[in-house]
Amino acid sequence: MSAENQAPGAGTFRSLDRRSMLGFTAAAVTGSLAACASGSPGRVAGHSGAARQRFQGKVVLITGATSGIGRAAALQFAAEGGRVGFCGRRENLGRQVEAEIRSHGGDATYIRADVRDESQVIAFVNAVIGKYGRLDVAFNNAGVTLEKPLHEYTSAEWDDIVNTNLRGVFLAMKYEIPHMLAHGGGNIVVTSSSNAIATTATRSSYTASKRGLVGLVQSAALDYVSKGIRINTLIPGTTDTDLVRRVGHMEHVPDAVWEAAARTYAEATIPMGRMARPEEVAAFALALASDDFPYMTGAQMVLDGGKTAHAR
């Protein structure tokens, strides 16, 4: 559910932030629709016959998996043999993801839960354990954003962002880790944001929460390094998700208009010239959650198309 931003680029886009860049009208982008359609990278199906089965027999818990990166990860974990228990607040979308995984022979259970509510997090984790008997992997991915100058935030708005993005991960880990300890270890991946490294205006609450996750993971990784639990941070850049589309105020425009606006924005602001696909970020999360890197813990792994590498 990552909603990353990118510092303005050169030329005519230098003074434009993401909201203004993506807030094009249909008339403003119609001329570039054909180019967008011909140049867009193809989508990768999350359940398209994974060659590897790295999670065969493992139980995987995911927060925020009803859309975006979390949804793509749920499909991919299941495709690689994982038994997936996942949550999200939008029940209709959660049921759709669960049904899609099962229709392709995977094992998944959706449980409605809000990571801001400790009692719901406890119930969610316990339900996954009750269903599958153990916990091997956790992908703590739930997150939200809100963009406005700092003094315009209400304290309730600030708390909502921080309680979802930072406190929600703390709560998830607090109740996941005892189950991992009981079975000799596990692997936790936390979704932060490239804004934890380099951010822009109007993103103070989001940036504070996402940068806080880096410190949380670093310290927690040291708490459990001798207990067989590895904890790492995934730092994605701008990803083409419904959340990013909503932030750009383009959730109600035709898909072709959104794609053209997103392409224009990305070419002006991201060195690789496009947003990440949710499936790409999910694939990286799976790599971090696998046993492929047994010496990695407390790390911050960046996947951002060059966003935080290029000069401003």
Q: Where on the phi/psi map is residue 249: left (φ > 0), alpha (ψ -120 to 50), or beta?
A: left
C-alpha 142/C-alpha 272 separation (Å) is 26
User: Which of the following is catalytic: 110, 206, 224, 265?
Assistant: 206
How does DSSP assign the chain, residue by residue?
A: ---------SGGGTT--HHHHH---HHHHGGGHHHHHHHPPPP--TTS--S--TTTT-EEEEES-SSHHHHHHHHHHHHTT-EEEEEES-HHHHHHHHHHHHHTT-EEEEEE--TT-HHHHHHHHHHHHHHHS---EEEE-------S-GGG--HHHHHHHHIIIIIHHHHHHHHHHHHHHHTT-EEEEEE--GGGTS--TT-HHHHHHHHHHHHHHHHHHHHHGGGTEEEEEEEE--B-SHHHHHHTT-TTS-HHHHHHHHHHHHHHH-TTSSPBPHHHHHHHHHHHHSSS-TT--S-EEEESTTTTTS--
Is residue 153 part of the annotated active site? The answer reads no
Residue with tokens 């359940």: 47
Catalytic residues: 206
